[in-house]
Structure 1
């Protein structure tokens, strides 16, 4: 019951969003100390702000699963130091070795810590499209990380995953069945989720956002993301969701801030197009229902412009 109560508290209190808190865990390179979401599933919740020197680039969720016969990690983090710090936290709660790391996609915050795990002899798994994206964009991600986090990016190098898959990668380890699944196009190439069917918990990666506004990238196909959500992600009927960003919650909350936001913004841009509106004015369509989200100021206008550019040719 204590896990349900703690999760309900996180759901009920948007004040837990932490865009304005520079660092919640000064004793560690991690932004926050890992919390046990349900028994044996932990997550170090990243800042809901953009990457900064103060948060060490830890602005996504780094999770791990203690199976009884080893530990499985979701995301290596945005640097060597973050991966090492997460390992220190894992060793503080279990003697079981880390046996597998999943990268949720090909972005820097998922893969730039891979070098640390590779040095520990741990297999690193990602979707084929995520691996390709990292091969193409990893150097740029690393340059960006160094520019922002400076010496906190020391020892961070480009190490790709050594195992890739297309549809699913299923692991039975200890007491856990862990299913890494590619559900379809979403936030970025090769986005995967990690599904624990017996626990009804999904580590969603960037399929789902909570407490902060999601970014729409040039290669984010919003119509496809909505379709993937409705046909493959929502049907999981997960009780617990550890999102890519923001605190652990439930499906209703991540739907509200992910799928519903995408639908809302597309409707606004669609109406703007029907009225003959141009790109310059599209940036300023009304997004006030979502102004409470962290990163709203940084992302709202960019998101509107990118959706306009997509929908103009749909």
Structure 2
């Protein structure tokens, strides 16, 4: 392990000691950790350059204001790169306030890690600050289709926390990779292949072996599947493109910073296990109704298990039935 990475792990170890990995039963009642801010939790320093405000491992609620994903930022000598616009203008401004408490450097770039509301609905705030916003072309297309519904959902759960939020598309899109390097820090914005949702984006700092993984990687909560999620593609992208990066520090899309072995357990290994169970169910002549009851007890301590386990099983059945 390089000395720079070894130094970078000290803040990560401190953060892990504060928030380490005990899992609670999935619940919308997980308490807010930072009541004086719209953010669910105060940003923690993960490495020398990288900070992250870790979101709730729960569905979006009034209490967490939709901060149930990780909002990260990279501090360089020439500016700050923010990963995720946030779920609202209120959350974006709250994150910006925290950045200003860490550094005098201006925010110069926002990267939307996917096309979901909690990644892009805060874009309007950053546009007002004159910050350039970048996303993968598929994520931008998904946001264009889903943004009105996402905004209505935000208004429903966040109430006054949705005030000032509008639909603002990224300024720029990319296909395979985008060079966000600045201030002598190499910052690679990557699309490694199909995974959780269209245009899933990873931010890679090769000199620090640090990966801001986005929703290709989950920790501490059960991952959700969508109608257009290809689980076999996700596993292939993981094995053939994500693992070869050789990341030593991983900030997942959801859950605390950790390492590759941990996110592999709660992401790839979960997908493999569920596909194995559904595959056996299909081989035995099982139908969709029975698929909901395949044994997922191995994962029952993950947050959002109650909300997502049976739904995930049904979606994997639909995917595998005619493979």
TM over 0.5: yes
Q: Does the residue aligned with 1:195 lie in a helix, a strand or coil?
A: strand
Instruction: Look up the match of 1:13.
Output: 21
The Cα offsets for residues 221-242 of structure 1, whole Å up to 9 and x where unpaired, read as 1000000000001111100000
Q: CA deviation at 1:10?
A: 6.5
Q: CA deviation at 1:147?
A: 1.0
Q: Does the residue aligned with 1:190 lie in a helix, a strand or coil?
A: coil
Instruction: Look up the match of 1:36.
Output: 45
Instruction: Look up the match of 2:121.
Output: 112
Instruction: Look up the match of 2:307.
Output: 298
Contact 1:17 1:246 in 2 (8 A): no
The Cα offsets for residues 33-68 of structure 1, whole Å up to 9 and x where unpaired, read as 000001121000000000000100100000000011
Instruction: Look up the match of 1:227.
Output: 236
Q: 2:11 is matched with which residue: 3, 23, 39?
A: 3
- CA distance in structure 2 between the partners assigned to 1:7 and 1:98 by the alignment: 24
Does residue 100 of structure 2 align to residue 87 of structure 1?
Answer: no
Q: CA deviation at 1:150?
A: 1.1
TM-score, structure 2 as length reference: 0.94
Q: Does the residue aligned with 1:300 lie in a helix, a strand or coil?
A: helix
The aligned runs of 1:154-233 (5 Å cut-off) are 154-233=163-242
Equivalences, count: 314
- CA distance in structure 1 between the partners assigned to 2:171 and 2:52 by the alignment: 24
Q: 1:56 to 1:172 in 2, by over 3 A?
A: same
Q: CA deviation at 1:181?
A: 0.2
Contact 1:108 1:142 in 2 (8 A): yes
Q: 2:271 is matched with which residue: 247, 262, 281?
A: 262
Does residue 134 of structure 2 align to residue 125 of structure 1?
Answer: yes
**Which shows bigger deviation, 169-178 or 120-129?**
169-178
Q: 1:217 to 1:281 in 2, by over 3 A?
A: same
Does residue 156 of structure 2 align to residue 147 of structure 1?
Answer: yes
Q: 2:259 is matched with which residue: 236, 250, 263?
A: 250
Instruction: For structure 1, list consecutive stretches of 5 or more residues without a partner in the other structure.
Output: none
Contact 2:16 2:256 in 1 (8 A): no
Q: 1:127 to 1:4 in 2, by over 3 A?
A: closer
Q: Does the residue aligned with 2:181 lie in a helix, a strand or coil?
A: strand
Instruction: Look up the match of 1:67.
Output: 76
- CA distance in structure 2 between the partners assigned to 1:288 and 1:10 by the alignment: 28
TM-score, structure 1 as length reference: 0.97
Q: CA deviation at 1:210?
A: 0.2
The Cα offsets for residues 251-281 of structure 1, whole Å up to 9 and x where unpaired, read as 0000000000000000000000000001001
Q: CA deviation at 1:18?
A: 8.7
The Cα offsets for residues 95-118 of structure 1, whole Å up to 9 and x where unpaired, read as 000000000000001000000000
Q: 1:212 to 1:15 in 2, by over 3 A?
A: closer
Instruction: For structure 2, list consecutive stretches of 5 or more residues without a partner in the other structure.
Output: 1-6
- CA distance in structure 2 between the partners assigned to 1:247 and 1:218 by the alignment: 27
